Structure 1
């Protein structure tokens, strides 16, 4: 909520018609509208409309309020700024940058008339394979909490509702529709809840999205303890809870469980199910009223009823957004290895540069699924390096065959009668039932449906069947590749080879088959679309392995080699988890290139750690670039050639082996579809601190082109009704280049009656632009939560008496300063 001081300031700055309403004025207007609504209108209002809108009620001045996916851009309505993956922002450890990103999001949304942005996401990184780790803010609840609040404030400050998601414990995509995440209350309160709590209490977020999964055996969408007791009562949340798309599975339990808005439409919360429930008292009118009241409160508070949301005077391609995403990438890329100071490359000496790897060109700017944003433009690693070093010769070799998805636009098919294309049958239902509404020939299956797919077919809830043949020219192995949002399945010669028949974000699948030369094969593909985005693709191509030799030859003659590898939107994204190992062939590519050139730097695109054991000891340089957004590779080139000094630090522990991870043995779930979070609070560095195993790179780690020293620590208790401690110290640049250092403060609790982590992050500061030889003084204040744990018996935070150690330094494993305070 706006404070009285801010409201007073705004009242003098704005004309009366534009001043933000007071809380009392909001509540009066909400009750006035609510009092005019019929019971039927109230029921209608708690179900979505046309996939990405709220229900309109024209007679009451309630328009359909428009939503857009996040959290890497306002993506649903044509090209937009493609921001970095949020984990990149987390690696910047920069709350003010998070606020700036939020502001840019808000302006992009207003330009497109969007009222509600489905961002930010704050699920904790529990396993590196989670397909959506790149969308989130790392493994530490304190770091995530410090970033999510300003991000939300930035979005909502521009008159757009932010939606924090996915509440709660949605830390894997595998089984997200029907797996139960079994987590004890202390672990939820200390690890998985704090970022959501900060979003509510500090960010004042207006919307919370519940997760698909079950929590302790109950779907999140109908978990009364989660939605009512914790969120609304304990934290005082005043806004509304929406479901993720298709996350509702019942009517009465959901209505009574705390969910306020079913998306994308009223499949379960509708007149048919709720009218009799109101009549027999199973659901009370007060319960329905509360849902509507929460939605109206948010819409009135944000001014939706009093102005047009769209701001067409703003540029669709935002210069501010482009600069913001560059800043995100510059601050968030992490230099992990720099043996023999191979970096920065000296542009005066490096005249021949080889960019090698599948991610080197074209650009890979983001992960997949509902976070994927199509930019107006994006620069690749190859092109960014060529632009940064115009006097050098830049050679590119992908090192492996082109992306399988290229076959979507080149694969040839024939109908049974021999015409070019496939026979397509379109149905106005999701189950291919009845007589097709439209039958025609489609040359290929390669469509992203912005509008209805065929005349007379609805934009949503349709299905299609394609049939025909294809002929292969040579004997060999062939890949059958498909991608779809939602369900799809493929038969070759009558045998089902791909089966992904489920609601999902865009998802890739592939089958490899052996065919003889000049042989013809039948193909059938079926597809259905539910709500939201719609796309479907089918292709085939011969498997080839020629291009790794081209890459090795390019590397032999180069002064420096940049190997750009990792995942991409088709391999890491919503709907499923990825592998811990790099995609097929990439390990071998790195090893073969490193065998012919000593000046190799590996640049990784991934949302979390990967298996590096096969090649890391063979290369001197390693940069974690995450997903850098549309302009991020310009920042990468600037870092590689020393125009920028790397300053990002890991918001995760970079696992040496998956087997060393805290969740190993309790992922992806047991035969009963239950995932036991048996590690409890010991996630990430909390686990490694207590384990005989160590990460490859620790939480908070990141190299720079300069070095830093820490000194003059003081720890001072502050007079307050609750424990507060003032921590002060100096950071000195002991190297030869100006740089930013991320100073971190950890707390070690005294031994007590419950297990506590060895230490926990409880403060940090991005110390900017420290010149060589200069020092800057840093002050960090620790509040009572820095020393507390959740007492399950007392149902409250407790600060035990005793001596607490205060540890300060540049990473979780580099803490040269130590002090203490007795509480």
Structure 2
């Protein structure tokens, strides 16, 4: 019998946008097309530590579920339908409550009695893998105690290609290796605490205003979301690289992005989900959509999407692509039953992997009200109860937050004025030094730049339990030291600034920039920054103070690079500090750095002299009214790689940061490890165990007397006749036949295990480096290792190792780095595998990407 068409389940652009050549006549022809990759690989934990037992448990419980129950845990119940920013359906018959998904990557969004951790850009600036793990673990502990099952973090994408990018601060810098280490460390920490981590955003997110089609967010002038057009090699070596680290670390879930990639939506791009993520990277976990990033029903399911969030097509609309519609799609053959089995099994395997079946806390937060009592079903105004239990989950995390914020502060310039000693009189200048008059949480999702800036804005935020401003901390320090302290925090009161500056022994200027997510606009900046200049009259504040104070120390709080050329070389500016987005302990942390109580960090990105030096141009206005096309023409050459390849002198290079002591790099020795040859993977992904639906449509109707909560999304059917479920049907004929093949798919040569072919992680060389602290103070150095891969189209050098080490004054330490096969390989687009060319390769070790005193050949 001919299959039925289900247009309600189709894509908003076209049903199978991952199909080469599949386009309607009214769709413009674009050069970039993502190829198809079907069927969706079935997840497995066979032979994978941490996953094997979890899969056994998951398969056992999924075998007990009805079709409606399987659909229930794959489908969100709708925006504001329950207490978390996202909730799946529940399975009361099996005693399984809904899964709670909650932002953010730096704390519990909308949380109370919870912490506001330093942002991703600040933990990246520590260059400390151990601190990244401890931060992840602490956040996981807090989420777990509040009843959160899936923490929507950590973040890698966007990677920072565009320095003005509004959400760069959520991630771990502008290098794939640094980002990958940070992502993996956070994943281990979060999941060791018993919460499923969600690495995001898969993949290639860039400009915010055109990233998605939602009216009221400035993007309603275009028909479809922006397409990030990325070539195959760049995808593998740059943007996908950190996610491979996360998969290898055991991440339970990955969030697909709003944007299109090569003109196929991220959440129904079969090549990216089925092909690269689930086959080539061997990802055993589940893929969930960003909120409203789903654009169809059948297409995303066949392309590998496993969970729809928040469930409704438009917020609080009551309409869903999945839920009951997915149940229908299975019954009529548009989506095979084994695909839904796999969705449910992947979700439950992640659930068991982190131990959520043991001591699972009740949800004690609410995303829609700060009141103790409220409606569990907020939009429907039903089930009034205690929704905010106000469980205090912070523990002693403030101490960790202060340590991270201090060690993630970067000292850019120091003419000897730092560290400070006891001062007779201090002057403090700029609104960035003080409190927001409306309070630390006075702006929606932190969308303002009033007072000191300690996190960006958007969904990646958390409520501050408190925020120690620099001025507060400096007053406390002045009181302890017996210093006089005066301040002018009106950014336009330049006359008063001059008077105070002339009296002070040290003038501490605090300036800022801010950025965030595109659903909120601050001072004309719709998420992305309009430029790289300072906000709030910052340049004029600096000039004013420096004109009257010969010991001016500038601190910048910012989500990323700012241009400094018009003031950085002023002779009266004796020190410059980049303090990033430090979280709730901001002021205490900056005092720790100013007075030398902690060793500062290193830059996770390049600070150029001009915005044009980065060689990229962010798209502020769409280039067409159908689907804006963002060409990633920089390829592999992002950030410092671009500066190096084009011989552009930055103001401060990637990895740069001054120390309070002196370091000498003494020696380097390379030892070759005989790891054996690289063998492409073979075999097939598992075959489906169940291929036939045994349940009748009548058994999936709403139970008699069932109470429907308004706009709540269910997996049951209202009737059978309205869907035409009167017979048996086969695959949807708009879909590729391969999508319905239950026998599995060949494993790609670069696959074979979580993170890719296991032999990619073989050690090929060990590099032994000796570093001495020849200064007068104990200190911490960030030792960085770079590799030159040798081909003309390769970057000059790429980061392939780092270590933050503590060494006492006058002593030395030996550090051993391991260089993996993956570290010197490149992606070959012909063989679709990793290869090592015969070009000569070298290793470089030093203090930054351009300060590398040690080098050696890799033979």
Q: How would you bin the TM-score normalised by the shorter chain? A: 0.7 to 0.9
Supply the distance in 1 between the matched residues of 2:62 and 2:312 (Cα, whole angstroms).
Answer: 20
Q: Which residue of 1 aligns with 2:233?
A: 186
**Deviations along 1:551-584, whole A, 9 cap, x unmatched?**
3322222111111111347899976201311124
Q: Which residue of 2 aligns with 1:503?
A: none
Supply the distance in 1 between the matched residues of 2:619 and 2:456 (Cα, whole angstroms).
Answer: 25
The alignment status of 1:679 with 2:714, answered yes or no, reads no
Matches within 5 A, 1:136-535: 136-177=171-212, 178-201=225-248, 203-267=249-313, 268-310=320-362, 316=392, 318-339=394-415, 341-347=416-422, 350-362=423-435, 363-390=452-479, 391-400=482-491
Offset at residue 174 of structure 1 (A) = 3.4
Offset at residue 185 of structure 1 (A) = 0.9
Supply the distance in 2 between the matched residues of 1:4 and 1:184 (Cα, whole angstroms).
Answer: 33
Supply the distance in 1 between the matched residues of 2:621 and 2:129 (Cα, whole angstroms).
Answer: 33
CA contact (8 A) 1:131 1:573 kept: no
Supply the distance in 2 between the matched residues of 1:702 and 1:174 (Cα, whole angstroms).
Answer: 33
The alignment status of 1:588 with 2:540, answered yes or no, reads yes
Offset at residue 256 of structure 1 (A) = 1.4
CA contact (8 A) 2:207 2:619 kept: no
Q: Which residue of 2 aligns with 1:744?
A: 784
Q: Which residue of 2 aligns with 1:611?
A: 563
Q: Which residue of 2 aligns with 1:659?
A: 612
CA contact (8 A) 2:426 2:506 kept: yes
Offset at residue 36 of structure 1 (A) = 3.0
CA contact (8 A) 2:195 2:356 kept: no
Q: Which residue of 1 aligns with 2:89?
A: 55
Supply the distance in 2 between the matched residues of 1:732 and 1:675 (Cα, whole angstroms).
Answer: 46
**Deviations along 1:199-234, whole A, 9 cap, x unmatched?**
001x20001011111111111011111111111111
Q: Which residue of 2 aligns with 1:782?
A: 819
Distance 1:716 1:682, change over 3 A: same
Offset at residue 118 of structure 1 (A) = 0.6
TM-score, reference length from structure 2: 0.73
Supply the distance in 1 between the matched residues of 2:53 and 2:785 (Cα, whole angstroms).
Answer: 43
TM-score, reference length from structure 1: 0.76
Offset at residue 279 of structure 1 (A) = 3.9
Q: Secondary structure at the match of 1:342?
A: coil
**Deviations along 1:672-707, whole A, 9 cap, x unmatched?**
511100010000111111114221100010001111
CA contact (8 A) 1:367 1:573 kept: no
Supply the distance in 2 between the matched residues of 1:719 and 1:355 (Cα, whole angstroms).
Answer: 59
Q: Which residue of 1 aligns with 2:216?
A: none
| Equivalent of 1:66 in 100, 125, 128 | 100
Offset at residue 245 of structure 1 (A) = 0.9
Q: Secondary structure at the match of 1:625?
A: strand
**Deviations along 1:716-771, whole A, 9 cap, x unmatched?**
1112125611111111112211110011111112236xx11111111111111x12
Distance 1:5 1:194, change over 3 A: closer
Q: Which residue of 2 aligns with 1:30?
A: 58
Supply the distance in 2 between the matched residues of 1:606 and 1:665 (Cα, whole angstroms).
Answer: 18
| Equivalent of 2:672 in 717, 742, 746 | 717
**Deviations along 1:306-356, whole A, 9 cap, x unmatched?**
4332599997252431111111112110000113x1212221xx2211111
Of Structure 1 and Structure 2, which has the larger fraction of its residues in strand?
1
The alignment status of 1:726 with 2:766, answered yes or no, reads yes
CA contact (8 A) 2:515 2:529 kept: no
The alignment status of 1:794 with 2:831, answered yes or no, reads yes
Q: Which residue of 2 aligns with 1:577?
A: 528
RMSD: 2.5
Supply the distance in 1 between the matched residues of 2:393 and 2:353 (Cα, whole angstroms).
Answer: 28
Matches within 5 A, 1:615-630: 615-618=567-570, 619-630=573-584
| Equivalent of 1:599 in 537, 540, 551 | 551
**Deviations along 1:599-657, whole A, 9 cap, x unmatched?**
111111111101222222222211000011111321211211223332x0111111211
Q: Which residue of 1 aligns with 2:725?
A: none
Offset at residue 2 of structure 1 (A) = 14
Distance 1:142 1:114, change over 3 A: same
| Equivalent of 2:68 in 40, 51, 63 | 40
Offset at residue 266 of structure 1 (A) = 4.1
Aligned residues: 655
Q: Which residue of 1 aligns with 2:137?
A: 103
Q: Secondary structure at the match of 1:389?
A: helix
Supply the distance in 1 between the matched residues of 2:514 and 2:637 (Cα, whole angstroms).
Answer: 30
Supply the distance in 2 between the matched residues of 1:206 and 1:748 (Cα, whole angstroms).
Answer: 34
Q: Which residue of 1 aligns with 2:4?
A: none
**Deviations along 1:99-136, whole A, 9 cap, x unmatched?**
11111011111221111111100121111111111111
Supply the distance in 1 between the matched residues of 2:672 and 2:620 (Cα, whole angstroms).
Answer: 42
Greater relative CO, 1 or 2 (CA 8 Å, sep 6+): 2
CA contact (8 A) 1:652 1:700 kept: yes
Offset at residue 170 of structure 1 (A) = 1.3
Q: Which residue of 2 aligns with 1:645?
A: 599
Distance 1:567 1:36, change over 3 A: same
CA contact (8 A) 1:733 1:775 kept: yes
Supply the distance in 2 between the matched residues of 1:668 and 1:807 (Cα, whole angstroms).
Answer: 41
CA contact (8 A) 1:355 1:394 kept: yes
After alignment, is 133-142 or 41-50 more displaced?
41-50
Offset at residue 35 of structure 1 (A) = 2.8
Q: Secondary structure at the match of 1:82?
A: coil
Supply the distance in 2 between the matched residues of 1:353 and 1:64 (Cα, whole angstroms).
Answer: 55
Q: Which residue of 1 aligns with 2:802?
A: 764
Supply the distance in 2 between the matched residues of 1:570 and 1:398 (Cα, whole angstroms).
Answer: 24
CA contact (8 A) 1:355 1:396 kept: yes
Q: Secondary structure at the match of 1:370?
A: coil
Q: Secondary structure at the match of 1:354?
A: strand
Distance 1:242 1:558, change over 3 A: same
